[in-house]
Amino acid sequence: MAIRILPPRIASQIAAGEVVERPASVVKELVENALDAHARTVAVETEDGGRRRITVADDGDGIPPEEIALSLERHATSKLAAIEDLDSIRTLGFRGEALASIAAVARVTLTSRARGAEHGMRLSAEDGVGRDPASVGAPQGTVVTVEDLFFSVPARRKFLKSPRTERRRIDSLVARYALAYPEVRFRLNQDGRETFTAPGNGDRREVLAAVFGLDAAERMIELQPIGAEDRVRVGGYVSPVDLSRSNRKDILLFVNRRAIADTALTAAVVQAYHTLLMVGRFPFGAVFIEMPAEDVDVNVHPAKAEVRFREPNAVFSAVQRTVRRALLGSSPAAGIPSPAPWPVRVWGSDRTPSPGPDWMLDHRPDGQTETAGERILQPSVLAPGEVPLLRPVGQVGAAYLIAEGPDGLYLIDQHAAHERVLFEAMQREAPGEPVTQRLLNPEVVELSAAQAAALSPQLDLVRRIGFDVESFGGTAFRVRSVPQLLGGLSPADALRAVVEDFEEDETPLADEAEARLIARVCKRAAVKAGQVLGAEEQAELIRALEQCSSPRTCPHGRPTMIHLPMDLLARRFGRK
């Protein structure tokens, strides 16, 4: 075939494909236009998952009568005048492509009345060509109706998912904008059913409830921006550690109130939950990143869902640190409403001796005398992620330890607690110098074909945590040393214990993989339920747990302790 220039109609249908991939992309562009026009209310209606019809109505600035035909032209925009403007884009749109692209692949009707205009204008378009502009009576704002999406592009039509799937995408898309613009009222009606509304009263928690459900929304943790003078500020809400999802798709990210997709930042959020969630579970939430417009390039792709940061590492770390900080400040021990702040011993170079239970004995209702215990306890207030000093009381069922704290009773799962202690100890080991146990004689371990295939690419990782192991041909491996924690197992069992992990693994990030592996080792090494512990051992375990940085969960995310506040006990015994 000879080279020739494509007719404009085909060229624009091809170009439209980059902007309009599916019904949800149409909704996205039209909602963005409404928000750019300062709408207070945005109403979206769809039929048949958006293929039959999409209508977006707003009460924003509107389009002046003389500009309405122009708005459908490609590269027609009121939001950008010079290339330098790209550095400081504050609007969601700027490419002037959306209406033109939609009109290239669907029938479009545009009705708009600009603020202060005497009447509205209506214009229809098919194949990208606007027809019959007519003045009409209309309220201030804009209504865009898009019918028979892709009727002229059968190839694209084929790729659409079921109406149900498309409806779901539209639901989640509108929800994202509602989260980003809580001061705007949103209504979404799909096939005659109201599927989403947001009140527009500026209260983001109310929108969260509509998106994630009331229970989850009430328990979500608000992020506090750290470093007021930082260029990157992170806010929003994330799930508490005892709520999770089976995938990452409810981690909603926004940059300067634009919904974005970014695998690295999603990973930053996931990493913040590291060891706080069970393997294979993921957090959810809405994370809002604010930064100067010139630090982020939104002009990466016509759909504007991807952005590029001038300093991606700074953004990554700001997200991860902000989320982590919020989590550690708020993971409550299981089963209790989060306690009022309470005192804790400060762990410094001069270790205070265990104060014993004296603070419990002296209730001091008069507020006069100050006990030694109180002096110790006063210097700092317990961040809710930590645990107070505990007095060991005993063991029950050869599985749980009982301890007393300044505000009630603690039940501690000895296995989970020990896992946490070992995990943090192993993570503190100097990088590259794991504590290992050398075997007297190297041992050759024969693995299954699947285990060998899983282990081979991970030998470096396994060495980092204390195995000295090398391939010995076929599915055999020669082991010279094992992590000290697994010293009680045969070399074969020790190796198999970690290989199991690889078999389940997808493709974790390197340090995530290492932490998981360590968690696995600790699980094997930790004291089991059924083991009777002497008083000394109980006390030692409790002391070690107190010093952990995340004492309330095991590395797999299960709680290590249940706290029964004095209050609750008093109520249960009918004293209150």
Decide whether 37 or 545 has the Cβ nearer to ligand ADP.
Answer: 37
Asked if residue 95 binds ligand ADP (CB under 6 A), the reply is yes
Q: What is the DSSP letter of 22?
A: S
**Helix, coil or strand: residue 309:** strand
Asked if residue 198 binds ligand ADP (CB under 6 A), the reply is no
Q: Find which of ligand ADP, Mg ion, none residue 157 binds, CB within 5 to 8 Å per kind.
A: none
Residue 401 CA to residue 160 CA, distance in Å, equals 57
Q: Which of 25, 33, 46, 244 binds ligand ADP (CB under 6 A)?
A: 33
Q: To the nearest whole angstrom, how small is the minimum distance from the Cβ of residue 117 to Mg ion?
A: 20
Decide whether 94 or 309 has the Cβ nearer to ligand ADP.
Answer: 94
Helix (H) or strand (E) holding 141: strand 141-147
| Half-sphere exposure in the Cβ direction for 282 (13 Å, CA) | 15
Asked if residue 98 binds ligand ADP (CB under 6 A), the reply is yes
Decide whether 88 or 313 has the Cβ nearer to Mg ion.
Answer: 88
Asked if residue 93 binds Mg ion (CB under 5 A), the reply is yes
Q: Find which of ligand ADP, Mg ion, none residue 386 binds, CB within 5 to 8 Å per kind.
A: none
Task: Give the x/- contact pattern for ligand ADP in 68-87, rule: CB under 6 A.
Answer: ---x----xxxx--------
Q: To the nearest whole angstrom, how small is the minimum distance from the Cβ of residue 102 to ligand ADP?
A: 8
Contact between 103 and 72 under an 8 Å Cβ cutoff? The reply is: yes
- Candidates 92-100, 241-249, 256-264, 389-397: pick the segment binding ligand ADP (CB under 6 A): 92-100
Alpha-carbon distance values, 484 to 4, 429, 438, 443 (Å): 71, 12, 9, 16
Decide whether 75 or 351 has the Cβ nearer to Mg ion.
Answer: 75
Q: Find which of Mg ion, ligand ADP, none residue 97 binds, CB within 5 to 8 Å per kind.
A: ligand ADP
Alpha-carbon distance values, 338 to 208, 219, 332 (Å): 21, 11, 6
Q: Where are the alpha helices (DSSP H) in 290-391?
A: 312-328, 358-361, 372-377
Asked if residue 33 binds Mg ion (CB under 5 A), the reply is yes
Neighbours of 312 (CB within 10 A): 14
Mode of pairing for the β-strands spanning 251-255 and 285-290: parallel
Asked if residue 63 binds ligand ADP (CB under 6 A), the reply is yes
Binding-site residue total for Mg ion (CB under 5 A)? 3
Q: To the nearest whole angstrom, how small is the minimum distance from the Cβ of residue 562 to ligand ADP?
A: 54
- Strand arrangement of the beta sheet that strand 141-147 belongs to: 129-136, 120-126, 107-113, 141-147, 53-58, 41-47, 185-190, 193-198
Q: According to CB under 6 A, which residues from 112 to 151 bind ligand ADP?
A: 142
Residue 168 CA to residue 178 CA, distance in Å, equals 15
Q: Find which of Mg ion, ligand ADP, none residue 31 binds, CB within 5 to 8 Å per kind.
A: none
Decide whether 102 or 545 has the Cβ nearer to ligand ADP.
Answer: 102
Judged on CB neighbours under 10 Å (0-12, 13-18, 19+), 279 is middle
Decide whether 33 or 550 has the Cβ nearer to Mg ion.
Answer: 33
Closest CA to 397 of 495, 271, 281, 531: 531
Helix (H) or strand (E) holding 495: helix 491-504
Q: What is the DSSP letter of 56?
A: E
Q: To the nearest whole angstrom, how small is the minimum distance from the Cβ of residue 93 to Mg ion?
A: 3
Residue 348 CA to residue 365 CA, distance in Å, equals 30
Q: To the nearest whole angstrom, how small is the minimum distance from the Cβ of residue 78 to ligand ADP?
A: 3
Residues that bind ligand ADP (CB under 6 A): 29, 33-34, 37, 58, 60-63, 71, 76-79, 93-100, 142
Binding site for Mg ion (CB under 5 A): 33, 93, 98
